[in-house]
């Protein structure tokens, strides 16, 4: 696979003029609504932003991630903003920011993992975990704009303040005042995500294959 008091943009992307602030404020307000919509739709997924978005500037190029099954222990999810590098050609009309759903899983396993990014006419394709050994990750964090699958949770809590989350460890805590959810375990079959960033403490990909392809995941 990589505000105001709610979310703090990275230093390189701090708004400097009134026009920039005007674009960012509505997104900050929307951060609290994104996870709620995801829960209502019965969708959930991996993790990022609060623990990830502030660590590096995203390229602004989305990538697709799929897996036949994801199983995890220690799950947290909340809204956030990812920031592109200053002057990124991918910023468009976004002001260099992308509203994301951040998901964190303390320990995760994935079957038949596929990741692809459209490079314009060809796709960079990565696959792993298609054999007997599954992909494993610790402190897996993803920033997503779209996600789908058949999800099941154990001991889920919905509506927490993101700063109080404790089931996914320290990296599973988000900004204060932001709507969030957490669960002891999560299982998602037929997982599909559109991501802007992914990080992990340890990421093991048995049977890794990287290649160019006419089609993505």
Residue 144: per-residue pLDDT: 96
pLDDT, tens only, 1-53: 443 334 334 444 444 444 443 443 444 334 444 443 333 332 233 333 333 33
Indicate the pLDDT class of residue 56, thresholds 50, 70 and 90.
confident
Interacting residues of 78 by C-beta distance below 8 A, sequence separation 6+? 35, 49, 50, 101, 102, 162, 165, 174, 175, 178, 179, 180, 181
Residue 208: both structure tokens together? 């890794």
pLDDT, tens only, 65-81: 999 999 999 999 999 99
In our burial notation (b when 16+ CB lie closer than 10 A, e otherwise), range 110-121 reads bbbbbbbbeeee
With contact defined as beta carbons under 8 Å apart, do 80 and 53 qualify? yes
| pTM exceeds 0.85 for this model | no
Q: What angle do CA 136, 200, 170 make, to 5 degrees?
A: 115
User: What is the C-alpha separation between 59 and 48, in angstroms, rounded?
Assistant: 15
pLDDT, tens only, 105-119: 999 999 999 999 999
């Amino acid at each position: 696979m990589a505000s105001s008091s709610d979310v703090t943009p990275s230093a390189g992307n701090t708004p400097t003029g009134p026009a920039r602030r005007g674009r960012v404020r509505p997104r900050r307000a929307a951060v609290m609504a994104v996870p709620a919509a995801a829960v209502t739709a019965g969708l959930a997924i991996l993790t990022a932003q609060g623990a990830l978005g502030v660590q590096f500037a995203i390229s602004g190029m989305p990538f697709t991630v799929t897996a036949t099954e994801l199983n995890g222990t220690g799950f947290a999810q909340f809204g956030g903003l990812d920031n592109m590098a200053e002057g990124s050609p991918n910023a468009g009309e976004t002001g260099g920011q992308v509203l994301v759903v951040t998901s964190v899983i303390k320990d995760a396993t994935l079957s038949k993992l596929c990741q692809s990014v459209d490079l314009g006419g060809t796709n960079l394709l990565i696959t792993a975990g298609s054999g007997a050994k599954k992909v494993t990750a610790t402190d897996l964090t993803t920033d997503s704009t779209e996600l789908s699958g058949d999800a099941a949770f154990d001991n889920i809590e919905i509506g927490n303040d993101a700063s109080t989350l404790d089931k996914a460890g320290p990296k599973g805590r988000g900004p204060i005042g932001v709507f969030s959810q957490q669960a002891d375990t999560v299982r998602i079959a037929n997982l599909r995500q559109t991501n802007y960033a992914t990080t992990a403490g340890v990421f093991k990909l048995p049977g890794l294959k990287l290649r160019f392809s006419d089609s993505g995941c």
